[in-house]
């Protein structure tokens, strides 16, 4: 019998969050609060992988003059 409310990643702990991407219910250990998704999806969307993220060049003030 499957008990509702178990983490669908480890099936070992109570699910406390529902992933917005895959809809899985996951426990705290498998929840990435920063991304707001389960750890599987958090990796997929690139929580901490850099490479796709364009670097912001800060040295030349893109919005040069701010007039009040």
Shortest distance (Å) from residue 28 CB to Zn ion: 8
In the list 6, 16, 18, 22, the residue contacting Zn ion (rule: CB under 5 A) is 22
CA pair distance 61, 16, nearest whole angstrom = 43
Which residues fall within 8 angstroms of residue 27, CB to CB, at 6 or more apart? 7, 9, 10, 12, 13, 14, 15, 16, 17
- Residue list 23-62, contact with Zn ion (CB under 5 A): 27, 29-30, 37-38, 41
In the list 10, 45, 46, 47, the residue contacting Zn ion (rule: CB under 5 A) is 10
Please count the residues of this chain forming the interface with Zn ion, following the rule CB under 5 A.
13
């Amino acid at each position: 019998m499957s008990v509702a409310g178990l983490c669908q990643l480890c099936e070992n702990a109570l699910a406390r969050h529902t992933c917005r991407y895959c809809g899985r219910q996951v426990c705290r250990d498998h929840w990435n609060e920063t991304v707001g998704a389960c750890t599987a999806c958090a990796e997929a969307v690139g929580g901490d992988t850099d490479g796709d993220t364009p670097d912001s060049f800060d040295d030349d003030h893109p919005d040069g003059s701010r007039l009040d």
